[in-house]
Amino acid sequence: MGSLLAAIGIVFLAELGDKTQLVALGLGARHRLGPVLAGVTLGYAATNLLSVVVGGLLGAALPTRALGIGGGVLFLVFAAWSLRSDEDDDEAGESSSGGEVPWPRVVASVAGTMFVAELGDKTMLATATLAAQGNPALVWVGATIGITASGAVGVLVGRSMGARLPERTTRLGSAALFAVFGVVLIATSI
């Protein structure tokens, strides 16, 4: 039980103000609450499972440099994708306030984004370390609860902000966040 509670507390606190919480904020501003929360939970659960497996098998030895560079490149791809989506909607004749993106597509997109965003992150390393020292199953559950709670805070703040901003503005803001985090991840990993 100690592994569970330690993972909840440590991971929740480590994630506050982290890049993935800010990404969750941006996604919450762009999409409906339910699919974003489902995607955030799935992405975090998958990343934490990877952390626990690696931590349980190898201790805290993760190839953080390669993960950081790869994650940075993927963030830049997400930035371009966000901008391209905006152009595609305009070309298709959809208004910024037009049709909603299908629920499964949002969930899959958010889950993938959050998974990539967490690769090599401090909370992933903390989870791997906790799994190496405690009960991996309890660490996985606790870390997933802690990081999802922190991500949900970001999503709710983003949702509140997104309701007041035009769709195009939230897309451009999300693209800018992805680009900044991509460049920072690459720069700090080199």
Q: Where does 81-176 show beta strands of DSSP type E?
A: none
pLDDT in tens, 21-56: 888 888 888 888 899 999 999 999 999 999 888 777
- Residue 138 sits at the vertex; the CA angle it makes with 28 and 56, to the nearest 5 degrees, is 100
CA 139 vs CA 16, 93, 169: distances in Å? 18, 48, 38
In this prediction the pTM is 0.68
pLDDT in tens, 134-147: 888 999 999 999 99
